[in-house]
Amino acid sequence: MSTKPDIPDERRRAILAGAAAAGVSLGLPTGPAFAVDGFDRFMARSEALTGVKPLDRTIGRSLYKLLNANGQVDYLTGYRPAGRSPAGRNEQVEISIISAWYSGVVSTAGDHRLATYQDALMWQQLDFTTPSGLCGGDLGFWSNPPKA
Amino acid sequence: MAAQETKIVADVGFVGSGVASAMMANQLAADGVRVAILEAGPKIDRGAALERYLSAPIKGLGAPYVASPDFPFPGSTAAEPWYDQAGPDPFKSTYLKAVGGTTWHWLGTTLRLVPDDFRMKTTFGIADDWPVTYADLEPWYQKAEEEFMVAGDPAQDLGSPRKKPYPLPPIPLSYIDKTFAAALKGTEFTLAATPQARLSKPLGNRLACCGSGSCVPLCPVAAKYDATVHLNTAVAAGARVVDLTTAVAVEIGAGQRVTAIRFKRPDGTDGRLEAKVFVLGANALEIPRLLLASRTDALPKGAANSSGLVGRNLMDHPVQLTWALARKAMWPYRGPLSTSGIDRFRRQNTRKTDAALRIEIFNSGWSWPTGAPATTAGKLAATGLRGPALAKAFRDHSARQVMVASMVEQLPDPANRVTLDPARRDKFGVPKPKLYYRVDDYVKRGQARARRLHAGILRRVGVTEIHHRDDFEGAGHIIGTTRMGDDPKSSVVDASLRSHDHPNLFLLGSGVFPTAATANPTLTIAALSLRSVAAVRETLRT
């Protein structure tokens, strides 16, 4: 389960910035995991993992929310916390983040939630075609290799 | 209010609004025959269906369609499976309840059977002959192709001799097809364009195929035929399609004539469809289910079932999937899902021991076997790839994904059947289907042969890895449960699709096929429906 307080990211960032400036403690967990805003950290990690930069922040918010709902927040915000991560969990989280960006869907134990379809990275990266369900072009375009 | 009618009167009353009914109803309505069609499912708005598809997390067969216990079908009820699978193997093919039926998510392939398919007993000493021959059906195949506006290449010999060209020029082969054909030139694997009910030219308000890559489960532009084409013309000629109305029993009266179809609606209302002639076109699971559920003290085995064969000889075309990674880019995920096939194994002389099969070349990458491209990045990431190397590998890998599949002939076996499950009923009180299904050694040898053939093809094309599905897949082809024949003791309907038991009852669809052959069944369904129009007309006059 998440230990993150239920505070919107923007609001929390402001609080943290203010807290740092004032040098006061809000009772939040301290240390590297929470020194930087969770969403920004998520986006940075996502760009590093997916190999695509910049990633869309609106889609990122949806994915971040869905991934957090899966109870993975500790691993997203406190990425690779030293000594606290069971073996293999970081890798699983990385694969979850990559899968979510490429497919546009967050899947956990048979539960599938869609953040985006047409703008999923799979279609952006498969620049030789269009998302399944949308017209790809005139009759017969599929007969030849895609135009470079 | 029409939806509350308790009595519907017509000359010809249909149950089911799929392609089998639509083809026949359109012909009758054009002649001024009063036609009413009961459909359990709802009307489908294509735009809304596309929206549902695009917003669905999983793009399965049902993704574009409304599912409800008000019109249950396989996969529509998450809480409980529609089928009770009582046999050693699961029956994997499904259907849809909607105005237009399962043609909403068919592939669109319109192969004819080959002549030997009608003479399995005579030619090979196995299974059964049909009560019609290829020559009997040839003009009706042509007529059906014209109704479908089939796009095909008349220069190619698919083993089904034709007298006239296809109505439309062929759908262009894919780059994958052309690459395969070049690699296979001079081998036993002769690749041919697949005839298909997919527009290669615009027609009315339907566009030519725009390669959406989503034929199954939805064509966004109606380039792929669906039965609403003929339902719409039938309605324009005066036919009625009554949706959200489920047939629950066939009433039999004096002289073994059908007097009415009883129906119920989700809102609790019910009523009767009265007509002179009744036609069931509700697929090869729902037709036997309705007939069996219509049993009375006078007909303890159910309607149309003096032979005891209603529901028996259930068949599919068990599919062998093989997918591979080509050495060079093949550019899949473009165009119709499949545009070519290899047809020679459909008509070999060794069918006594070797199941016939048809090999299809797919343009849809690894989507069927693996869920690609949505699953590809996760699988590559699991090999340790990250960052730009992952992005590059994703594109490279996806561009090289190819798949071939074989539909294997399954022989009729009376033990394979649909019966009623009295312990489980739908909201209308009708027992749900209970299935017993087993894939025998004939099919299993065919699957093994398909794997060998697939590997031979793919090695010639040039691949770095080959994967075979270790079990069969369903083709979506439900066949054999109301078989036709000349002898009332060994068949349910005669060659005109008329019930041996009830002179004013006709059963349409692939349930009447005595054997499964290896063609996707829809063209033969349509040809048989069109051929039977004359018998229905004649029955109206008596």
* Non-local CB neighbours of B221 within 8 Å, separated by 6+ positions: A135, B206, B207, B209, B210, B212
Cβ of A103 and B377 within 8 Å?
Answer: yes
CA dihedral sign of residues B166, B108, B289, B417: positive
Contact list, A114 vs chain B (CB under 8 Å):
55-57
Cβ of A99 and B381 within 8 Å?
Answer: yes
Cα-only R_g, chain B:
23
Cβ of A129 and B334 within 8 Å?
Answer: yes
Nearest-CB residue to B381 (from A98, A120, A128): A98
Residues 55-84 of B with CB under 8 A from A: 55-59
- CB distance from B381 to chain A under 8 Å? yes
Q: Hey, what are B348's tokens? A: 């070999």
Confidence of residue A1 (pLDDT cuts 50, 70, 90): very low
Cβ B93 vs Cβ B319: under 8 Å: no
- CB distance from A119 to chain B under 8 Å? no
Cβ B288 vs Cβ B478: under 8 Å: no
Question: Residue B421 — φ and ψ, nearest 5°?
Answer: -110, 90
Give the residue from B453, B39, B399 showing the smallest Cα distance to B227: B39
Whether pTM > 0.90 for this model: the answer is yes
Percent of chain A predicted with pLDDT > 90: 49
pLDDT given at position A72: 61
Searching chain B, which residue's CA lies closest to the CA of residue A137?
Answer: B210
Q: Taking 90 as the threshold, does the pLDDT of residue A6 lie above it?
A: no
- CB distance from B382 to chain A under 8 Å? yes
pLDDT given at position B5: 86
Contact list, B221 vs chain A (CB under 8 Å):
135
Place of tokens 């590559």: B380
Cβ A57 vs Cβ A43: under 8 Å: yes
- Exposed, middle or buried: residue B466 (CB in 10 Å: 0-12, 13-18, 19+)? middle
Secondary structure tally for chain A: helices H, strands E: 6, 2
* Non-local CB neighbours of A147 within 8 Å, separated by 6+ positions: none
Give the residue from B263, B264, B267, B343 showing the smallest Cα distance to B520: B343
pLDDT given at position B542: 85
- Secondary structure letter of residue B234 according to DSSP: H
Nearest-CB residue to B390 (from A51, A132, A144): A51
Confidence of residue A30 (pLDDT cuts 50, 70, 90): very low
Q: Hey, what are B280's tokens? A: 């069931």
Residues 47-76 of A with CB under 8 A from B: 48-52
Residues B59-95 pLDDT 10s: 999 999 999 999 999 977 666 789 999 999 999 999 9
pLDDT given at position B415: 98
Q: Taking 60 as the threshold, does the pLDDT of residue A27 lie above it?
A: no
Q: Taking 70 as the threshold, does the pLDDT of residue A4 lie above it?
A: no
pLDDT given at position B513: 99
Nearest-CB residue to B390 (from A50, A112, A122): A50
Residues B157-207 pLDDT 10s: 999 999 999 999 999 999 999 999 999 999 999 999 999 999 999 999 999
- CB distance from A31 to chain B under 8 Å? no
What is the C-alpha end-to-end distance of chain A, expressed in Å?
Answer: 47
Tell me which of A2-11, A110-119, B59-68, B308-317 is least confident. A2-11
Cβ B437 vs Cβ B412: under 8 Å: no
Question: Residue B432 — φ and ψ, nearest 5°?
Answer: -75, 165
Cβ of A94 and B210 within 8 Å?
Answer: no
**Is residue B522 helix, strand or coil?**
helix
Cβ of A126 and B398 within 8 Å?
Answer: yes
Cβ of B381 and A94 within 8 Å?
Answer: yes
* Non-local CB neighbours of B78 within 8 Å, separated by 6+ positions: none
- Higher per-residue pLDDT: B193 or A107: B193
Separation CA B521–CA B112 (nearest Å): 8
Cβ of A141 and B399 within 8 Å?
Answer: no
Q: Hey, what are B190's tokens? A: 């002769």
Nearest-CB residue to A117 (from B54, B178, B218): B54
Confidence of residue A75 (pLDDT cuts 50, 70, 90): low
pLDDT given at position B532: 98
Chain centroid to Cα B315, Å, comes to 12
What is the C-alpha end-to-end distance of chain B, expressed in Å?
Answer: 33
- CB distance from B203 to chain A under 8 Å? no
- CB distance from B377 to chain A under 8 Å? yes
Separation CA A140–CA A142 (nearest Å): 5
Contact list, B378 vs chain A (CB under 8 Å):
95, 98-99, 102-103
CA dihedral sign of residues B225, B229, B231, B237: negative
pLDDT given at position A83: 44
pLDDT given at position A69: 83
B375: distance to nearest CA of chain A, Å? Answer: 7
ipTM score assigned to the predicted complex: 0.95
Is B105 in the active site? no
Nearest-CB residue to B214 (from A126, A133, A143): A133
Q: Taking 70 as the threshold, does the pLDDT of residue A74 lie above it?
A: no
Q: Taking 70 as the threshold, does the pLDDT of residue A81 lie above it?
A: no
Contact list, B377 vs chain A (CB under 8 Å):
50, 98-99, 101-103, 121-122
Residue A105 Ramachandran class (φ > 0 left, ψ -120 to 50 alpha, else beta) = beta
pLDDT given at position B340: 98
Angle subtended by helix axes A38-50 and A89-103, to nearest 10: 80
Q: Taking 90 as the threshold, does the pLDDT of residue A87 lie above it?
A: no
For residue B27, what are the β-bridge partners? none
User: For an interface test with B, which of A49, A52, A66, A98 has the most B Cβ atoms less than 10 Å from its Cβ?
Assistant: A98
Alpha helices in A33-129 (DSSP H): 38-50, 57-69, 73-77, 89-103, 121-125
Give the residue from A60, A56, A66, A71 showing the smallest Cα distance to A37: A60
SS3 content of chain A, % helix, strand, coil (to 5): 50, 5, 45
Separation CA A22–CA B352 (nearest Å): 87
C-alpha dihedral (B468, B469, B472, B473), degrees to nearest 10: -120
B134: distance to nearest CA of chain A, Å? Answer: 33
pLDDT given at position B76: 73
Separation CA A52–CA A94 (nearest Å): 14
Searching chain A, which residue's CA lies closest to the CA of residue B328?
Answer: A145
Catalytic residue among B397, B468, B477, B502: B477
Residues of chain B with pLDDT under 70: 1-4, 77-79
Alpha helices in B400-479 (DSSP H): 441-461
- CB distance from B135 to chain A under 8 Å? no
